[in-house]
């Protein structure tokens, strides 16, 4: 994952001294006179015979030049230096692998003047094609391609790349330049995370599916949606971007799918900060006939599998923490923990009654913010203050048996209607996973939807879930017991990349960063 970093460091050190010599503006005037020459179609150029990575593997350990073999390669110039007037050295980068290219006048049919004029055409950042034979440098024996024909320009750089780019605002407002200067390690970490997730799911025989992103109503989470319109249907009818794929995925389970998952974008019209972006990526999977304990075991197994494939210090630290806890996550039960921390008996009170909750808190001299007015908001704030605050370690902590009032889509505990078979997983006080046994009784689901609507009306809470009658109707065909799981992929990438800001793991930053590019 650090391959590009070391390659680009070398380029940066050289570029600071070469920038005055390699004058881009002068060359740009020449480029403008014959654009097709400087930007040729690859269809008119001989194909490469090998790429940089394969060349390095094939000729690893080469001791002497092999003039019997000729290869053609393509890549980007990340470094140029000269030894006298007759020899030039180029670092050629392709797919995060770098190869030294030696351009020696003795191997080319041209004069010294022609050689120097030819080399002046090329600058750091150019994409080129080179042809030559495998060889080694004389002093250090470095594997190289020794050019025996003219370099071919594929695409010139018209702007020099700065040697450093450290200011976070400048980096986030021009991610293309950021990647050129600082490398693309974060993108590779994200690729490995999603790759390992898919591998784990495929090993469990899950099927990947896709569900609608735009519909007349978003649902599946307590969040505010983005609203748009579709000119092809009805310009007056509002459409919404999905805030979660959950209800669509569960419809597929009702329709006969047993193990399914989706990795995709969701959109929530809410705040932007160091850990939130209105557009983010989630994993959701659903499996029929599994319970909460099985979901917990699957969560542990998935996180361990992902970390085992990420060669980063934070991944190893996380694995060490889990191993030290006998391969299990720490656990905190929601209501008993609140009772222990506050002295209030939450198990034996009506958690749907906001005024009763406030009265109990006043008697216990516990203050809450004025914005917490609904039962959901009050309990959520208490959870953050007294339970999530105990999830401040790298060892993942499970908060389980959430109140029913907080969990409208989760299965109510048959032995205690106050709580559900739901859990969340926190690491260093941040939520990473949310899972539960799904409510599969259409009558109870409708009742929970209705309670959410009443709370939305009474407390003007826009994040309450809407009543989804078509979903309830689909449940009546016979919804099997289902276990559902959700994971925030962006946050997991942040954790393993050891960064505190979400824009560092998004290809072009958060929404405000995107708007500046």
Q: What is the mean pLDDT of residues 254-281?
A: 95
Q: What is the pLDDT of residue 395?
A: 98
Q: What is the pLDDT of residue 185?
A: 92
Whether residues 62 and 88 share a domain: the answer is: yes
Q: What is the pLDDT of residue 19?
A: 47
Q: What is the pLDDT of residue 460?
A: 79
Q: Is residue 177 part of a domain?
A: no
Contact 408, 452 (CB under 8 A): yes
Sheet order of strands, 227-230 included: 214-215, 234-241, 227-230
Q: What is the pLDDT of residue 299?
A: 98
Q: Which residues contact 97 (CB under 8 A, 6 or more apart)?
A: 3, 51, 52, 53, 56
Q: Is residue 172 part of a domain?
A: no
Q: What percent of the chain has pLDDT over 70?
A: 96
Whether residues 138 and 218 share a domain: the answer is: no
For 313-345, write each residue's pLDDT tens digit.
999 999 999 999 999 999 999 999 999 999 999
Beta strands (DSSP E) in 23-169 are 71-83, 87-94, 97-104, 127-136, 143-147, 152-155
Q: What is the pLDDT of residue 455?
A: 84
Whether residues 402 and 283 share a domain: the answer is: yes
The domain of 436 spans 182-514
Measure the N-to-C terminal CA separation of the chain; round to a whole number of Å.
26
Higher pLDDT, 73 or 21: 73
Whether residues 153 and 198 share a domain: the answer is: no
Q: Is residue 169 part of a domain?
A: no
- Say how many domains are in the chain: 2
3-class SS of residue 76: strand
Domain termination residue (choose one: 164, 194, 228): 164
Question: What is the pLDDT of the chain when averaged over all its residues?
Answer: 93
Q: Which of 266, 93, 263 is nearest to 184 (CA)?
A: 93
Task: Give residue for tokens 């939305």.
Answer: 456
Take residue 275 and report the two structure tokens written for it.
Answer: 């850990």
CATH of the domain at 288: 3.30.930.10
């Amino acid at each position: 994952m650090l391959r590009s970093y070391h390659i680009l460091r070398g380029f940066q050190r050289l570029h600071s001294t070469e920038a005055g010599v390699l004058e881009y503006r002068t060359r740009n005037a020449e480029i403008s006179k014959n654009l097709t020459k400087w930007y040729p179609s690859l269809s008119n150029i001989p194909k490469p015979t090998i790429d940089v990575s394969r060349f390095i593997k094939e000729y690893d350990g080469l001791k002497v030049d092999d003039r019997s073999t000729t290869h053609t390669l393509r890549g980007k110039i990340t470094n140029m230096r000269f030894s006298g007037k007759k020899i030039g050295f180029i670092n050629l980068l392709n797919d995060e692998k770098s190869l030294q290219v030696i351009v020696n006048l003795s191997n080319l049919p041209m004069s010294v003047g022609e050689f120097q004029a030819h080399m002046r055409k090329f600058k750091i950042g150019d994409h080129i094609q080179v042809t030559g034979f495998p060889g080694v440098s004389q002093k250090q024996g470095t594997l190289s391609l020794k050019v025996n024909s003219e370099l071919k320009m594929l695409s010139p750089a018209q702007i020099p790349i700065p040697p450093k780019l450290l200011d976070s605002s400048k980096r986030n407002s021009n991610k293309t330049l950021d990647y050129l200067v600082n490398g693309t390690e974060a993108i590779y970490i994200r690729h490995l995370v999603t790759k390992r997730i898919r591998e784990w799911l495929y090993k469990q025989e899950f099927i990947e599916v896709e569900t609608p992103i735009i519909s007349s109503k978003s649902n599946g989470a307590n969040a505010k949606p983005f609203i748009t319109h579709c000119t092809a249907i009805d310009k007056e009818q509002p459409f919404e971007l999905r805030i979660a794929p959950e209800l669509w995925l569960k419809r597929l389970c009702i329709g006969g799918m047993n193990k399914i998952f989706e990795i995709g974008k969701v959109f929530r019209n809410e705040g932007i900060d160091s850990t939130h972006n209105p557009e983010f990526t989630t994993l959701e999977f659903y499996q029929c006939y599994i319970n909460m304990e099985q979901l917990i075991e699957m969560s542990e197994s998935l996180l361990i599998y992902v970390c085992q494939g990420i060669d980063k210090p934070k991944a190893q630290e996380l694995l060490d923490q889990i191993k030290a806890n006998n391969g299990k996550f720490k656990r905190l039960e929601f209501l008993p923990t609140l009772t222990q921390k506050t002295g209030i008996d939450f198990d034996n009170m009506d958690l749907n009654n906001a005024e009763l909750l406030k009265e109990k808190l006043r008697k216990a001299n516990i203050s809450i913010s004025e914005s917490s007015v609904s039962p959901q908001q009050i309990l959520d704030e208490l959870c953050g203050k007294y339970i999530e605050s105990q999830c401040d370690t790298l060892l993942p902590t499970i908060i389980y048996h959430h109140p029913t009032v907080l969990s409208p889509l989760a299965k109510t505990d048959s032995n205690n209607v106050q709580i559900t078979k739901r859990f969340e997983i926190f690491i260093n006080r941040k939520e990473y996973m949310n899972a539960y046994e799904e409510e599969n009784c259409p009558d109870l689901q409708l009742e929970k939807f209705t309670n959410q609507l009443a709370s939305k009306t009474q407390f003007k809470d826009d994040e309450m879930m809407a009543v989804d009658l078509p979903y309830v109707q689909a449940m009546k065909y016979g919804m099997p017991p289902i276990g559902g799981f959700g994971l925030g992929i962006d946050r997991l990438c942040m954790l393993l990349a050891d960064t505190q800001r979400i824009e560092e793991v998004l290809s072009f930053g958060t929404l405000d960063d995107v708007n500046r590019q």
